[in-house]
A and B are shown apart, each in its own frame.
Chain A
Amino acid sequence: MEAPVKNTELIDTAKLREEFPILRQKLNGKPLVYFDNAATSQKPLSVINAVTEYYETINSNVHRGIHTLSEKATEAYENSREKARSFVNAESTNEIVFVKGTTDGINLIASSFGNMTVGEGDEVIISEMEHHSNMVPWQNLCRQKNAELKYIPVNDDGELMMDEFRSMINEKTKLISVVYISNTLGTVNPVKEIIEIAHSHNIPVVIDAAQAAPHLKLDVKDLDCDFMAFSGHKMYGPTGIGILYGKEKHLEAMPPYQFGGEMIKSVSFDKTEFNILPYKFEAGTPNISGAIVQGAAVDFIEKLGHENIHNSEMKLLEHANNLFEEIGGIRIIGTAKNKTSVISFIVEGVHPYDTGSILDNLGIAVRTGFHCTQPLIEQRYKLPGTVRASFAVYNTTGEIDLLADGLKKIKKMFL
């Protein structure tokens, strides 16, 4: 791996964009402006090529063959696990489970750890800004257990109301699960503080890091979180692969989530002995290609450097904020002090769907609707949806200028 670009240097975006073939195309006759990065990011050539390379050179099943090819695949698979461990600064690869994505990771925690931790009359705390993937599994668990799910309220700026959070904790609270960065509001939550508060009451904390992984340096040791889940595809990696981090003491104590091949040590007609960590949680042939290629995505991010990525994206956010203010009549949903490069907005008087439709015709890909946070948009903010532009490291201020031009056009067309 090459050394990261020096932290003080800004990223050469023009050069970086050459690594993303998809960005060269035209859509609806216009150059593609891709601002739907919070849904999924585009992939650099190093990631795309890693898929081909895997299938062309080492494709075979892992952890079972005595043949050389299987050993090579297993080595690459475990090498990627080590990269993931280092990426989140975990103590051991025993704490790194390959899953399908964030949703799969949270379902695993809810089904296994949640099931053994939460009982009748207990309480689980999440927040109003959770993505459905960190809400519905807990709703389901609480329904099954006859437990209560409580939501940390969100203020008008899109920040968690910490005093309310503190007062929600009581002896019945058994688990807390919160999002690191809101996919809708862009808010970076004070997760370290949340974890400290929770741990002072001996309550374990799950962190949904789906949006944080491409933007911030993840450090499970510094945060001291009990679990963390994120997806490959939002951090320049492939779809269908994600990482679940769990403290070893928890993973050891937890029952398996799925049963079958790979996750066993020995099987007889009468009983089965489960495999050691982390394989106990990886039933069946895993997404070998996805897991290996995820390693290439980690390399891509680390080569650029987290601080460079952050600085670059904050410049984009600032540019967008300035232009939106200049245009006027644009309401930004999510104005937290600590924000990342996600900007949810409404052109006042124009339905988000109308705004999104016209932007699409202009070659600008944004997301409209609830962004999988329906209660937040509908119940908390009483909106029919928002338009969301989310920026990645390869986006440019020039592209944001095109978005601003589009919004001016929309105002003329509809108002």
Chain B
Amino acid sequence: MNTKSIKEREDQIVEDFSLFDDWMGKYEYLIELGKKLPVIDEKYKNESYEVKGCQSKVWLNAEMKDGLLHYKADSDAVITKGIISLLINVLSGNKPDDILNADMDFINRIGLKEHLSPNRANGLTAMVNYMKKFALTYSGQNVN
């Protein structure tokens, strides 16, 4: 299990991406991560788990285990899967409150800002918001 803090995980990703000096290498790495993303159960691949606002289909679910939130997701596009893989790597297995407070600025630091900007059709913002929404739900339960 990943015991690193969100910040440490973000730094790790930034370091991994710094090994590639052009976008092609970075994309190839993203595609590799996408292909390796564990598949989610088919039962989650329906509208109830769909993240709206992406050009490709994205399904995402989260479960609480021992006070930590664990995400699983899938997409029909490989680059999107790569992006999801990064998001899951950073956020999964953390406390809901920590997830809510994560600024996710690593996306700007991996050198793909032009390509992965929140305005793009990749649905990056939609995915992050969707993941934080789960955290908010469980964070509320903790308070109650």
Contact = CB atoms under 8 A, between A and B. Distances in A.
B55 A368 contact: yes
Interface stretch (A89-97, A190-198, A232-240, A352-360): A352-360
A414 interface: yes
Contacts of A375: none
Interface string A381-410: 000110000000000000000000000000
A28 B31 contact: no
Interface string A353-386: 1100110110000001100000000000000110
Contact of A385 (B23, B55, B78): B55
A303 interface: no
A413 interface: yes
Contacts of A357: 27, 79, 115, 122
B31 A351 contact: no
A57 B23 CA distance: 47
Interface residues of B, number: 17
B23 A351 contact: no
A384 B55 CA distance: 9
Contact of B55 (A350, A360, A369, A413): A369
Contact of B23 (A28, A350, A353): A28
B115 A353 contact: no
Contacts of A413: 27-28, 31
Contacts of B80: 351, 353-354
A384 B56 contact: yes
A353 B77 contact: yes
A408 B80 CA distance: 21
B114 interface: yes
B76 interface: yes
Interface string A322-360: 000000000000000000000000000011011001101
A28 B121 contact: no
Given A357-B115, A361-B24, A414 B31 contact: yes
Nearest to A409: B24
A358 B26 CA distance: 12
A414 B34 CA distance: 11
Nearest to A361: B23
Given A351-B76, A351-B78, A353-B77, A361 B56 contact: no
B77 A28 contact: no
Given A369-B55, A384-B76, A414-B78, A353 B28 contact: no
Contacts of A353: 55-56, 77, 79-80, 121-122
Contacts of A414: 31, 78
Contacts of B31: 354, 413-414
Contacts of B45: none
Contacts of B122: 353, 357
B72 interface: no
Contacts of A358: 27
A378 to B, nearest CB: 11
Given A369-B55, A414-B31, A354 B77 contact: yes
Interface in B66-87: 76-80
A385 B114 CA distance: 23
Interface of B: 23-24, 27-28, 31, 55-57, 76-80, 114-115, 121-122
Given A351-B78, A354-B31, 12 more contacts: A28-B114, A351-B56, A354-B78, A354-B80, A357-B27, A357-B79, A357-B122, A360-B115, A361-B23, A361-B27, A413-B27, A414-B78
30 contacts: A28-B114, A350-B78, A351-B56, A351-B77, A351-B78, A353-B55, A353-B56, A353-B77, A353-B80, A354-B31, A354-B56, A354-B78, A354-B79, A354-B80, A357-B27, A357-B79, A357-B115, A357-B122, A360-B115, A361-B24, A361-B27, A368-B55, A368-B121, A369-B121, A384-B57, A385-B55, A385-B56, A413-B27, A413-B31, A414-B78
